[in-house]
Amino acid sequence: MASTKKVLSSTLSHAIVYTAALITVAPFLWMILTSFKSLGEILKSPPTILPAKFHFDNYVRAFDAAPFGRYYFNSLFVSACVTVGQLITCSMAAFAFARLKFKGRDVIFFLFLATMMVPGQVTMIPSFMILYRLGWINSYKALIVPGLASAFGTFLLRQFFMTIPRELEEAAYIDGCSRFGVLWRVIMPLAKPALAALAVFTFMGVFNDFLWPLIVINSESLRTVPLGLAVFRDRYTSEWDKLMAASVAATVPILLIFFFAQKYFIKGITFSGLKD
């Protein structure tokens, strides 16, 4: 009796959770299916589930209508620069906070943490003006430079560095290693999981960022994928064949990256939740 009940409840929870998962991914499946249909088939009622014929030319036409290759290059380039830059600056700052003794360390660290709660909209306008004065508006610099430091990243790495036993460093110091050498040769290799989590997190954040590129970029050749797609949407409001092909191009690669680097995404998120 008890076991029948258990089987029943297990079946029920499987049914519920799989239905919910299917509903969650349904918009993606629908996007992919639609992206292969002709516009005539898309605007048919009742809708067809599978495309009558696979129209790969939707993709060709979408890529002809806007330089998505270029957008991709821009997004990848900017995300890669910011990610690498942040890994370096955050590791250095985290090392200072975790290992060096200097006056005012705790005050600076606290101030640092406090800035995490300042919403980006507060700094957005003056940041824009600083870049404007520098003549950096509408350039890669505007997309990259403001992202080259991060309180969250510094904090994440600092917490991780604190857990690394000091004995290893002491041995390295005795061997004549400099502080930078210790960070580079001892700490960073040991902190790979935290660095990977930060890298994936930063990369995804920059890749998907929209408001900042929207403000600082106005020429087509510098648009990132989200910005390019938003402009594309304004221009081809109801050409769903092209729009869905463009959306597939904008989402599927990032979904694939996520699929393979999942572990680190999850780690980054859980870490942000356990920061007390």
Partner 1 sequence: MNLRPNMEKRGKRSDGRSAFFFLLPTLVIFSAFILIPVVFSFFLSFQKWNMFSQTTRYVGFDNYLRALSSADFWAVLKNTFVYTLGTVPLNMLLSLGAAMLISKKIAGKKFLRTAFFAPVVVSPVAAAVIWRWIYEPNFGILNYVLHFFGVPAINWLNDPTAAMFALIVMGVWKTMGVNMVLFSAGLDGIPNQYYEAAEIDGAGPWRRFWRITLPLLAPTTFFILVMSMIGSFQVFDLVYVLTSGGPLGSTKVLVFYIYEEAFKYFDMGYASALAYVLFAIMFVLTLMQVKFMKKRVDFAV
**Range 126-165, binding partner 1 (CB under 8 A):** 126-127, 129-130, 132, 145-146, 148-149, 151, 154
Instruction: Give the nearer residue to partner 1 in terms of CB position, either 53 or 103.
Output: 103
Of residues 8, 52, 60, 125, which one binds partner 1 by CB under 8 A? 125
Of residues 74, 160, 250, 264, which one binds partner 1 by CB under 8 A? 250
Using an 8 Å Cβ cutoff, are 200 and 268 in contact?
yes
> Using H for helix, E for strand and C for coil, what is the string for the chain?
CHHHHHHHHHHHHHHHHHHHHHHHHHHHHHHHHHHCCCHHHHCCCCCCCCCCCCCCHHHHHHHHHCCHHHHHHHHHHHHHHHHHHHHHHHHHHHHHHHHCCCCCHHHHHHHHHHHHHCCHHHHHHHHHHHHHHHCCCCCHHHHHHHHCCCHHHHHHHHHHHHCCCCHHHHHHHHCCCCHHHHHHHHHHHHCHHHHHHHHHHHHHHHHHCCHHHHHHCCCHHHCCHHHHHHHHHHHCCCCHHHHHHHHHHHHHHHHHHHHHHHHHHHHHHHHHHCCC
Position 107 contacts partner 1 (CB under 8 A): no
Could you say which residues in the range 30-89 bind partner 1, by CB under 8 A?
30-31, 34, 42-47, 88-89
Position 273 contacts partner 1 (CB under 8 A): yes
Could you say which residues in the range 19-38 bind partner 1, by CB under 8 A?
20-22, 24-25, 27-28, 30-31, 34
Of residues 57, 64, 170, 220, which one binds partner 1 by CB under 8 A? 170
Please report how close the Cβ of residue 259 comes to partner 1 at its closest, in angstroms. 7
Stretch that binds partner 1, among 51-59, 157-165, 169-177, 189-197 (CB under 8 A): 169-177
Of residues 50, 103, 106, 189, which one binds partner 1 by CB under 8 A? 103
Alpha carbons 74 and 140: distance in angstroms, whole number: 8
Please report how close the Cβ of residue 138 comes to partner 1 at its closest, in angstroms. 14
Could you say which residues in the range 252-271 bind partner 1, by CB under 8 A?
254-255, 257-259, 262, 265-266, 269-270
Could you say which residues in the range 186-225 bind partner 1, by CB under 8 A?
204, 207-208, 210-211, 214-215, 225
Please report how close the Cβ of residue 144 comes to partner 1 at its closest, in angstroms. 11
